[in-house]
Structure 1
Amino acid sequence: MSPWATTKLGFDAVQAALRCASCGGQQGFDPRTQSLRCESCGQLTEIVADPDLDAQREQAFDPGAPEDEPPEIEHAHRCETCGGEVVFMGQAISEQCPYCDGSVVLFGGHAHYTPSGLIPMGNTRAEAVEAIVRWVRGLWSAPSRLPKAVTEGHMAAVYAPFWTFDASKDVNYTVQKRTGQGKSARWIRVSGQVTMVLDDAVIGASDHVTPDIRDGIMHGFYPQWLKPYQPEYLAGYAADLHGRRVSDGLDKLRRDIEVQIRRRIRADAGGGRIRNITWTGHLSEIRFRRVLLPLWILHYHYAGKPYRIVVSGIDGRCFGERPFSMAKLFGWALLAAGGLFSAGMIIGAGLAPG
């Protein structure tokens, strides 16, 4: 069991360790100083990493070996709305789920895997709000009341679980390719082999890590920024810990790279008109990490509908859901139609006989 696995006894010990040595107040992780800051007296405490831990180290995956059982984590919260499970460190306990904004309740006895590393939260709540404001202001055809609706939303921070994978995939394929023209055109069978090398492919380890969240945060992921997993980094935040086996992540990885495989096959076959693509292949030389990556999530409502905006806690990249102003869209359509009409009149006048 990991020394940081938060069993009931371990969780209480961690909570006690987050007390300020100077005044006894509760400490939280400060993104600006990358240290613990006392919420009462403001004293900073450096986070000292275990020198024997290497957050960038990858583990080899043996598909023929049984996967180890994870440690038990008793102090977790489950969302009554979406079923999300999160652990709160320090005084971060909230009545709302960071993923869907639903109510959360304490429960225990659920098994989670301990991550090997994480990238600490890199921006404050105020900085995340500023990123959202800039994003909203840059939206095309946004309703005029959208900024007010966003400012009335609820912001939450969470460390979301991901895998990173290194692997190779040798693919043997056959396709039908169109050759020739006219009466000489025919479909011929083409076969070949392509090799795909995956390096630090980022895959979400939770149903709540949607494709837009994965794609949005992976742009700011650099393995050299990983720190060994220690609960001090989570102080004041929620964490969605790993609850799935590596084999589940590999299934998601295979589905994720299917489009890339088809693209590689088309290019290797010479392009052009291609149909009936079939292939066989398997992943080999698999290595993986379990990591946590930070997110800010804003939940807001507009015209009675819920929306979500996500800010990467790594580089501040903003992405999310938004409504459109039908009046503005109609106005743009009228302008476009007017422009086409004017252009047609000018062209027509130029073609008219003198």
Structure 2
Amino acid sequence: MSDPRGGRPATSATSYPCGGCGARVEFAPGTNVLQCPYCGFRQEIRPSGQQIREIAIDELAALPRKPVGQLAPYTLVCQRCSARTETTATAGLCQFCGSPLVLDPNATGQIMPEGVLPFAVDHDGIRTSLGKWVSSRWFAPNSFKKVVSAESTKGTYVPHWTFDSETFSQYHGQRGEHYYVTQRDGNGNTRRVRRTRWYGVTGQVSRAFDDVLVPASLVLPVDHVDALGPWPLPEAQPYQPQYLAGYYALRYDVEPEHGLEEAKSRMSQVIREDCRRDIGGDAQRVERVNTNFTNVTFKLMLLPIWVATYMYAGKSWQILINGRTGEIQGERPWSKVKIALAVLVGLIALAILLLVFAKR
């Protein structure tokens, strides 16, 4: 089926009508059911019988997929009202009737998700987390608290690559051992000065890495997404589209090959610390590390993030909330008045202390 307006293939997206009132059901955070927000009808998500697989990196070339750069937006057809929605998301809401739309992963042209970590924090939990976060921003304008609300958040599943690998590393470096010498100045005073003797060392370390996470979407700031961790990945479920009902889901725009290079970089930082511990002594220099990565596996996971975007002082600000723990990372405005008052109070306090010491 093609979209007559643009010639782009149109795909029927799965919707979830309510068995009680005919409206719609959505995944209820912290449960294993789909629930109608109107009549309260609940429908259990039954186990699929599938398992979350680790895919050998050697199998990547054989997987059916299109390069990210060749993917066009999807045209989703709502099964409830037949409206068409053009989007790059793999799940969302019909812009006309509000029905959940979930695209069949087989129709995306991308690698299938292996697992999903369902939302556990609902709007009440968001409201609590946001209240604590906003009230702790001491130097934010008072009016800032009025524009941030749980109602403005959008539940979004963000794709992540996870990588496992066994590593064996050989390193070259130096071990430093401190010693002290006594020095005498021109006035006859002595003091102890620390010096370091350096010895060349070589060695080897090994480590097995499990589920090294790399964000697979660049839509949200990667540093903020990383800072939302750690994620309780053992609580993830084998992928089922029902968990996405009522939420948005981003498609990945970072190829797994690029994700693997980033994962190796993150592993290498840990390995260098392993080398330092292995070198021992009082100080360490790691000059060169050669690492062999073996038994590398990967998978695509969907992690839950509440995204709040709000306008303040003519600028757009964004807050991200971990959909499992309520951890918040985001931006906030600064109050010039509060900062100026704080500086003024500090200067007054410093002046008082100087007067006190001057009178002694």
Aligned to 2:316: 306
C-alpha spacing 1:343/1:322, structure 2 compared with 1 (3 Å): same
Is 1:249 aligned to 2:245, yes or no? no
Q: 1:92 & 1:131 partners in 2: Cα distance?
A: 29
State the match for 2:238 in structure 1.
228
Which of 62, 79, 97 in structure 1 is aligned with 2:58? 62
Residues 1:216 and 1:34: Cα distance change in structure 2 (over 3 Å): farther
Match of 1:297 among 290, 307, 310: 307
Identity %: 28
Note the alpha carbon deviations across 1:274-324, whole angstroms, 9 max, x for none: 556221112222233311011111111222222111111112111211122
Residue 12 of structure 2: aligned partner: 12
The offset of 1:253, in angstroms, is: 0.7
What's 2:88 paired with? 85
CA–CA distance in structure 2, aligned partners of residues 337 and 232 of structure 1 = 59
Instruction: Give the 3-state SS of the residue equivalent to 2:213 in structure 1.
Output: strand
Q: Deviations over 1:131-165 (max 9, x none)?
A: 22221111131112211232499422210001222
For residues 221 and 318 of structure 2, what CA distance do their matches in structure 1 show?
12
**Counterpart position of 1:106:** none
Counterpart-to-counterpart distance in 2, 1:153 and 1:168: 44
Count of equivalent residues: 319
TM-score (norm 2): 0.75
Match of 1:212 in 2: 223
Decide whether aligned partners of structure 1 residues 110 and 59 sit closer, same or farther in structure 2, where only a CA change above 3 A counts: closer
Q: Which stretch shifts more, 171-180 or 191-200? A: 171-180
Matched, 1:197 2:208: yes
For 2:135 and 2:48, the matched residues in 1 are separated by 43
Check whether the contact 1:161–1:292 (CA below 8 A) recurs between aligned residues. Answer: yes
Q: 1:27: how far off? A: 2.0
Corresponding residue SS for 1:62: helix
Secondary structure (helix, strand or coil) at the match of 1:252 reads helix
**Contact 1:167 1:199 (8 Å CA) reproduced:** yes
Contact 2:51–2:238 at 8 Å: present in 1 too?
Answer: yes
Please give the per-residue CA displacement for 1:27-74, whole angstroms capped at 9, x wherever unaligned.
2222254311234543111111212x123x4333337x6241238998
Q: Secondary structure at the match of 1:143?
A: coil
What root-mean-square deviation, in Å, do the aligned CA atoms of Structure 1 and Structure 2 show? 3.5
Indicate the structure with greater strand content.
2
Q: Distance in 2 between matches of 1:246 and 1:230?
A: 21
Whole-angstrom CA distance in 1 between matches of 2:347 and 2:61: 64
- 1:31 equivalent in alignment to 2:29: yes
Q: Is the 8 A contact 1:128 1:316 kept in 2?
A: yes
TM alignment of 1:256-295, pairs within 5 A: 256-270=266-280, 272=282, 274-275=284-285, 277-295=287-305
TM-score in terms of structure 1 length: 0.76
